[in-house]
Amino acid sequence: MSVAVADTSLDIPTVPENRVLRVAIDDGLAQMKLVGEMQDGSIKTMKIPTAIRSASAGGVIDLSGDLVGMYETEEGSRFVCSADLPGEETRHPDFHVSQIDRVLTRHTLIEAGYTSADRVELLTALPVDEYFASGQVNRARIEKKMDNLRRGVSIIGGVANMPVVSEARVGCQAIAAFFDYTLTEEGNSRIGVAPDSIAVVDIGGSTTDIAVVLNGKTIDQGSSGALRRGVLDVHAAFLDGLTKQLGFTPRLSPAAMDRAVRTGKIVLFREEKDVSDILREAVADVGGQIMREVERKIGNAATMGAVIFVGGGAGLFRDVVKNWRGVEIPVDPEFANARGLLKYARARG
């Protein structure tokens, strides 16, 4: 059964020079995804691995001897961001309100080309089970994340300049993807989108968020929630399978792991090796766990207006979800939350 593809492209008119730029970053535990306005009026879309470690573990220098990707927070902690180095474990409960999340967010802005000449309104989000608590919006958690993102980060060495974060706003993952699906780039309702219940399944790095939106206005909390399974669990199962087959554990950088799960190939002893069979087994195992939980939450979704699969795992698990009827996967599903955050901000004015 084929999976429908939804067109949710974003085309924003020219931005006046030196205006505050709206930049949405879906700060995931596996990838940082950015969709933002640039000074020339274009929209920048970019993703990088969520790769960071303490500077005490060693930094990176270029061939001129300058430090690369090193940052210091206003609290005095130093971190290095590099997809070519082994990073710290990001799967911990306070990632989204941590110094490492703040540093990664600033690093993503710089990698996207923002400089000290740019003033940025930063749009981010929390997972469903952090945005809501005990049936209500978790305003304390939201405020904590906004406060964290407003705090200072400076660059150590190098030539890049830090953009100015003039404001930080926090939305809800999965709900943001709902806005991506239902809004045009101008912030108007998309023609032909059913007004009844829509389920969004956001497969991220560490969690799979499920949000059921009723009539575009309310959230069915009984059918919504989060499962602690995601793309990083595929990485772990894949690495475990490699270890069993090879007899040793290959040291894969975040960039190498990303290539491996996209291509099913790794390079060992200067030779390319096909490991797609190990990858397929890992994807099927983790994907099966995710789909069973989705079915427990929303059943077979026969009466829903749409079931939208988004996030970094939507493409990875495409073969797992294709047997579900009525499923839609938007173009570039990993950017759905970031696109939705930006569209919603534009709709609000």
102 falls within a domain:
yes
Tell me if 237 is assigned to some domain: no
326 within some domain:
no
Residue 279 falls within a domain, yes or no? no
Report how many domains make up the chain. Answer: 1
Query: Average of pLDDT values for 8-15?
Result: 49
Distances in Å between the alpha carbon of 349 and those of 22, 88, 266, 344? 11, 38, 46, 9
**Contact criterion met (CB below 8 Å) for 125 and 347:** no
Strands 218-219 and 119-126: unpaired
The whole-angstrom separation of Cα 225 and Cα 241 is 30
Output phi, psi for 265, to 5 deg: -135, 145
Q: Is residue 256 part of a domain?
A: no
Looking at this protein, which amino acid is placed at residue 80? V
Domain of 175 in residue numbering reads as 4-189+334-348
Residue 232 forms part of a structural domain: no
Question: For the segment 149-180, what is each residue's pLDDT rounded down to a tens digit?
Answer: 999 999 987 666 899 999 999 999 999 999 99
Residue 273 forms part of a structural domain:
no
Tell me the pLDDT band of 45, cut-offs 50, 70 and 90. Answer: very high
Number of helical H runs and strand E runs in the chain: 10, 20
CA distance linking residue 253 with residue 261, whole number of Å: 12
Query: For residue 4, is pLDDT > 70?
Result: no
309-338 average pLDDT score: 91
HSE-CB at 14 with a 13 A cutoff on CA atoms is: 3
- Angle value at C-alpha 185, between 311 and 198, nearest 5 degrees: 50
Residue predicted with more confidence, 68 or 280? 280
pLDDT band at 8 (very low <50, low <70, confident <90, very high): low
Q: How confident is the model at residue 12 (pLDDT cuts 50, 70, 90)?
A: very low
CATH at residue 159: 3.30.420.40
Q: Any idea which residue has 């309104």 for tokens?
A: 121
